[in-house]
Amino acid sequence: MEPISQYFSELEQMVQAISLANLQQVLHLLEEAYYNGHRIFIMGNGGSAATASHFALDLAKNTIMPNAPRVKAISLTDHVPLITAWSNDTAYEHIFAEQLANLVEPGDVAIGISTSGNSPNVMNALTLAKRSRACTIGLLGARGGKIKDIVDAYVLAPGQNIEQEEDAHMILAHIITRHMREVVRSYARNLELATTTN
């Protein structure tokens, strides 16, 4: 049982070490995107791809409130035919950037999830997003990697191994979803008040 107890202990320490100031910057960008009707694109590889899918699902579905605009969240990891087409016809490094090139607009948000912070396909997509005047966010591992210097805001997962970093990313996805649900609820409440007073 010792390795299990140690893992839980390290996980608790990691969660306590996550920067709330950095998280607040991320939340601010997502709030602004929502208020202005922009979209949120999420991407990652491997376990981070699964987190991206889960994250987009939660943001799109679990934030719904009656009479309020919905959060427009899209995972770029889910279109397997398009991913394999770009991988086969060009290179794997282009699978996210080429999807974004068709969709991204100024004011949108692109979120890259990467424990290494050095995934070329994620970096390419975030670079394209910035050129398109979209906002960029990184959910990264303990060191941040190169992506830390590319994005507008980031949160590091200061774990001691990749499993803990991936745990932190899922926790952050749930925290962000819960926050955005409150943002949507408040927006719906304000819309209702404006309607009844007019």
Domain range 2-191, its CATH number among 3.40.50.150, 3.40.50.1820, 1.20.1440.230, 3.40.50.10490: 3.40.50.10490
pLDDT along the chain (198 residues), means of 10: 90 97 98 98 98 98 96 98 97 98 98 98 98 98 97 97 98 98 94 71
Euclidean distance between CA atoms 87 and 103, whole angstroms: 19
Q: Where are the domains of the chain?
A: 2-191
Residue 150: per-residue pLDDT:
96
Residue 190: per-residue pLDDT:
86
8 A C-beta contact, residue 136 and residue 112: yes
CA dihedral 85, 173, 19, 38 (to 10 degrees): 70
In sequence order, what are the beta bridge partners of 44? 113
Residue 191: per-residue pLDDT:
81
User: Closest Cα to residue 34, out of 197, 177, 196?
Assistant: 177
